[in-house]
Amino acid sequence: MTARVLVAGVGNIFLGDDGFGVEVARRLAAHTLPDGVEVADFGIRGVHLAFQLLDGYDRLILVDAAPRGEQPGTLSVIAPDLSGGGGRENAGIVDAHGMEPDSMLALLGELGGQVGEVLVVGCEPADVQEAMGLSAPVEAAVDDAVRLVCELVGAGVTTRGEG
């Protein structure tokens, strides 16, 4: 049986580098991915992501800006600790335009759903002020993030139309 994987680009394109996950999802659309792997741009629609996960996925790969105190453009793969309830205390307070991943996963649990494994492919942002477009170091990390996601889902890095 083929594992179901959802790669979810998240973030706000109107806040500079916070649009990182959205851009990675857009570029992933040009790649041929294994059966069972879906890529979607969820932007700031955490509630929609929670409802999508109700369809049943073995793995969720969130792609997002992730400030961790590194140099801007630094990529990280994070396996979040979900054992602490994942923000369940806030699950009833739903702000669809600002839902953090832990709140989204808490909502998923409240809805009776679950996901087997969660990974975050994060990029250290340089600037998340109101602006369109990514900063130079974050823009430079997008193609590396695409390759990293392809590795995580077991895909090659050829784009559609390449031999």
Q: Residue 57: what pLDDT?
A: 94
In this model, does residue 144 exceed pLDDT 90? yes
Give the three-class secondary structure for 111.
coil
Mean pLDDT of 58-73: 94
19 contacts 13 by C-beta, under 8 angstroms: yes
CATH of 5-152, picked from 3.30.390.30, 3.40.1030.10, 3.40.50.1450, 3.40.640.10, is 3.40.50.1450
Q: Residue 92's pLDDT is what?
A: 40
Q: What is residue 98's predicted lDDT score, i.e. its pLDDT?
A: 54
Query: For the chain, which residues make up each domain, given as ranges?
Result: 5-152
